[in-house]
Amino acid sequence: MTPSVNLTSVYVLRTIKLLSVRNLTRISKKFYYRGGNLKTMKLESPAFQSILTSELNTLVNIFDKYDHELRIAGGAVRDLVLDMVPHDIDFATTATPTQMKEMFNIEKIRMINDSGEKHGTITARINDKENFEVTTLRIDVVTDGRRAEVEFTRDWQLDANRRDLTINAMFLGFDGTIYDYFNGVEDLKNRRVKFVGDPVSRIQEDYLRILRYFRFYGRISEKGNDHEESTLNAIKENASGMKIISGERIWMELKKILCGNHARDILPTMLQLDLAPYMGLPDKADIEEYRTVCCATEGLDPQPMTRLVALLANDDEVHLLHKRIKLSRDELQLGSFIVNHRKDSFDNDPMKYCQFLFTDSPGEMKKLTERICELLKYRGEKDLMDQFMKWESPKFPVNGYDLVDRQIPKGPIFQGTLHELKQIWKFSMFTKTKEELLENLDEIVEKVTEKVPSKKRK
């Protein structure tokens, strides 16, 4: 009888041979092989053919000339298997960064972005036309839940082991051969999102993978809530690990989830797994309001904040969210704007409401228009939004110089007078001229002065 072979031992020994003696103790303690079963198949599709540019062929020929393997890696392979042209293409190679730099220098290929070298990435610019990011195969030696200390390897299967999801752990040769170690092609065919190997281990290597899982679930799955129970349990068990992830990284992933497929179901699932406090969201988020807004904004291309703010009760919660995930100034202002106006009454003239809101709200014209449109998306008012976007806001005919010329004192009286004039103009439906507005200026100033405390009039 042929003795059974322990693949774990085989690959650990192979890895140890590839690394220097000084690293053996650390590897034996920290590195664990996770398995994998290589399957190969041929890919022939218009999408694959479309990426084979002359610049890419030049890159491939250089690696062939110096006897280094080069393949397409990660997400680009996933997209090509789905017959989609990838937006970005990453490459993996058996060559070390030093070897890549040597051959690129010999071939007079320009290299850019030196900061990637410490992570094993060299960016080559071919024919001053296309940039190609090429990364040396790696294994994770030590991880802390955010970053990994890596060692270079020449073993493609070991590199596949360090990746997060099965659908992202494939490689593609330039002859069309797919190298699939964890049934990624089958998972894509079944629209299934799974971690490579043990979900708990993959998550603990980088807790951001929790959000990456949900982002890719939205992209791949055909159903809104068809997760494997073991995956959800692993996420809930490790939810607290999210506290060490930066707010910027969380928001980057969360935005894609909010505007992706199944957003109506995915975020509530995330909240049920106790992720809310680590994303800056309240424990008692308004899930029903969120689901309603997701339905109302379907097909309207809402900004991520337009949907996310539905979970928040008030402006204080908007600012607590900002404190955790570091919103941009425009995102913060949009969130506050929607929270403060989402329950406003349109009365009997919705268009008039929009015009008056535009007139009364501070802000640059273009951004203010965008905020009102997002508010209307939130409320599902597509027809009203289309009507409002066609409206050309008239220019307020009075400015500060007009009041200075009439010796109105600067300060509260000046500001109050300008505001009162704008209200008169607004309620005339923007028809009153400058002369008509200034006709009764003395009476307006007197009225405003009476409202200003005497100690502030000066």
> Residues 120-133: what's their mean pLDDT?
94
Residues 315-336: tens digit of each pLDDT: 999 999 999 999 999 999 999 9
| Res 25: pLDDT | 29
Residues 359-390: tens digit of each pLDDT: 999 999 999 999 999 999 999 999 999 999 99
SS3 of residue 43 by DSSP? coil
| Res 456: pLDDT | 58
Using the predicted structure, report yes or no on whether residue 157 has a pLDDT greater than 50: yes
| Res 225: pLDDT | 94
> Residues 149-168: what's their mean pLDDT?
92
159 and 153 Cβ atoms separated by less than 8 Å: yes
Using the predicted structure, report yes or no on whether residue 11 has a pLDDT greater than 90: no
Using the predicted structure, report yes or no on whether residue 108 has a pLDDT greater than 50: yes
Using the predicted structure, report yes or no on whether residue 84 has a pLDDT greater than 80: yes
Domain ranges, ordered by start, for the chain: 31-197, 334-390, 400-451
| Res 420: pLDDT | 94
Using the predicted structure, report yes or no on whether residue 16 has a pLDDT greater than 50: no
Among 223, 143, 174, which Cα is nearest to 62's?
Answer: 174
Using the predicted structure, report yes or no on whether residue 10 has a pLDDT greater than 90: no
> Residues 202-209: what's their mean pLDDT?
95
115 confidence band (pLDDT: 50, 70, 90): confident
Distance from chain centroid for Cα 55:
30
| Res 312: pLDDT | 98
Partnered with residue 28 across adjacent β-strands are: none
Percent of the chain with pLDDT over 90: 83
Using the predicted structure, report yes or no on whether residue 33 has a pLDDT greater than 80: no
2 confidence band (pLDDT: 50, 70, 90): very low
SS3 of residue 304 by DSSP? helix
458 confidence band (pLDDT: 50, 70, 90): low
113 confidence band (pLDDT: 50, 70, 90): confident
| Res 97: pLDDT | 94
| Res 398: pLDDT | 95
155 and 11 Cβ atoms separated by less than 8 Å: yes
| Res 455: pLDDT | 60
CATH classification number, 31-197, choose in 3.30.460.10, 1.10.760.10, 3.40.605.10, 3.90.420.10: 3.30.460.10
Using the predicted structure, report yes or no on whether residue 342 has a pLDDT greater than 80: yes
Residues 230-284: tens digit of each pLDDT: 999 999 999 999 999 999 999 999 999 999 999 999 999 999 999 999 999 999 9
Residues 166-205: tens digit of each pLDDT: 999 999 999 999 999 999 999 999 999 999 999 999 999 9
Q: Is the pTM of this model over 0.95?
A: no
What is the C-alpha separation between 423 and 49, in angstroms, rounded? 62
Mean pLDDT for the chain overall? 90
